[in-house]
């Protein structure tokens, strides 16, 4: 019982652990040892390694971005030159088309004129023939009319009229 009381008294009298001065040397000894070891290992080995990895990644990302940028510029230039070539070709084709159109139109015009001239000569010839045919027919008609009129007058009067007066009368009727 007595020992029990003394131990509890000793326990209550024991200082608060963080203020037990006799533990300080050990704590500080280990803290110095551990912290110096930590500092040396981190600053000499671990942090350069970690920083190197991060710097390496950043450099890689930067160079990749640069490459991508260059490729983008190249493709843009290629597209621009393609578009230019396309526009050139289109303009050339248009020029060619209008030129050939004009040429075809001129050719067609010439052909048409030639054709018209041919037709006109043919038409003139035909008209001349028609006129000659018509005058021939008319002279035939006059002969027939003179004969017929002479005969009619002879039958009516019993006396053949003078050929000249019949001809005059027919001409007057025809014209």
- Interface residues with another protein (CB under 8 A)? 16-20, 22-32, 34-35, 37-39, 41-43, 45-47, 49-51, 53-54, 56-57, 60
Residue among 19 and 162 whose Cβ is closer to another protein:
19
Burial environment of residue 146 by CB neighbours within 10 A (0 to 12, 13 to 18, 19 or more): middle
Least separation in angstroms between CB 36 and another protein: 9
CA–CA separation, 19 vs 27, rounded Å?
A: 12
Q: Return the closest-CA partner of residue 166 out of 6, 119, 56, 152.
A: 152
State the minimum distance, in angstroms, from the CB of residue 12 to another protein.
10
**Least separation, in Å, of the C-beta of 51 and another protein?**
7
Alpha carbons 41 and 43: distance in angstroms, whole number: 6
Q: Are 122 and 128 in contact (CB under 8 A)?
A: no
Is the Cβ of residue 14 or residue 162 nearer to another protein in the bound state? Answer: 14
DSSP state of 16: P
Q: Closer to another protein at the Cβ: 60 or 92?
A: 60
Whole-number minimum distance, CB 49 to another protein, in Å? 7
Half-sphere exposure of 20 (CA within 13 A, CB side): 10
User: Measured from the CB atom, is 10 or 156 closer to another protein?
Assistant: 10
């Amino acid at each position: 019982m007595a020992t029990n009381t003394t131990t509890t008294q000793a326990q209550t009298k024991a200082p608060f652990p963080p203020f037990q001065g006799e533990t300080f040397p050990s704590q500080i000894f280990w803290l110095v040892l551990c912290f110096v070891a930590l500092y040396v290992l981190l600053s000499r080995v671990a942090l350069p390694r970690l920083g190197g990895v991060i710097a390496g990644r950043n450099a890689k990302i930067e160079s990749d971005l640069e490459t991508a940028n260059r490729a983008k510029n190249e493709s843009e230039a290629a597209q621009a030159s393609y578009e230019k070539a396309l526009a050139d070709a289109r303009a050339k084709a248009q020029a060619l088309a209008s030129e050939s159109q004009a040429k075809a139109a001129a050719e067609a015009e010439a052909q048409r004129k030639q054709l018209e001239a041919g037709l006109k000569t043919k038409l003139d010839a035909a008209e001349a023939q028609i006129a000659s045919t018509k005058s021939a027919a008319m002279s035939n008609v006059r002969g027939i009319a003179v004969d017929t009129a002479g005969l009619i007058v002879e039958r009516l009067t019993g006396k053949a009229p003078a050929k000249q007066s019949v001809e005059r009368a027919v001409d007057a009727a025809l014209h």
